[in-house]
Amino acid sequence: MTQTGADEFAPFVRAHTAALLRVAYLLTGDGASAEDLVQETFARLFPRWDRVRQADVPIAYVRRTLANLFVNRSRSPSRREVLVEFLPEGAVLADATAQADDRDELWELLAHLPERQRAVLVLRYFHDLPDDEIAAALDCRPGTVRSLLSRGLAALREEART
């Protein structure tokens, strides 16, 4: 990597970490896992930073890497979470509102979706990306994005009814 590339890496990380953490949280559902995912993304891209910064839209390149790392992580049997029937008792929030309940319900619904459907829904509705950008991020065709989106929304609707 050139010195110019190394000098541009740190400001890029500072400028985009918060947004990437939000995306990673929506994908993983866990703050610590989201931080790990973003950190792994930057660690993998640092040696190739000159190539990343020459991309038309560097943040899209980074977002694509993050989404691919998430999908690949979830495929690995050793990285899968163990589901339990009851969660351990956690800290009680002083002000539990209906908005928090809705957010929890939505997260529970999203957690039941396959990773690629979840990734498409997050990139579409959180980042408001068009089909072609989502397809580029997930390395698939726009038609596949529309199919994953349709199936994901149908699954969410069906789960919400039950």
Q: Which domains does the chain have, with CATH numbers?
A: 1-79 (1.10.1740.10), 98-162 (1.10.10.10)
User: What is the tally of helices (H) and strands (E) in the chain?
Assistant: 8, 0
**Better-predicted residue by pLDDT, 129 or 103:** 129
pLDDT in tens, 45-83: 999 888 888 888 899 999 999 999 998 876 766 555 566
Predicted TM-score (pTM) of this structure? 0.56
Give the largest Cα separation in the chain, rounded: 56
Confidence tier at 145 by pLDDT (50, 70, 90): very high
81 vs 60: CA distance, rounded Å: 28
Cα dihedral 121→125→129→132 (10° resolution): 30
pLDDT at 128 over 80: yes
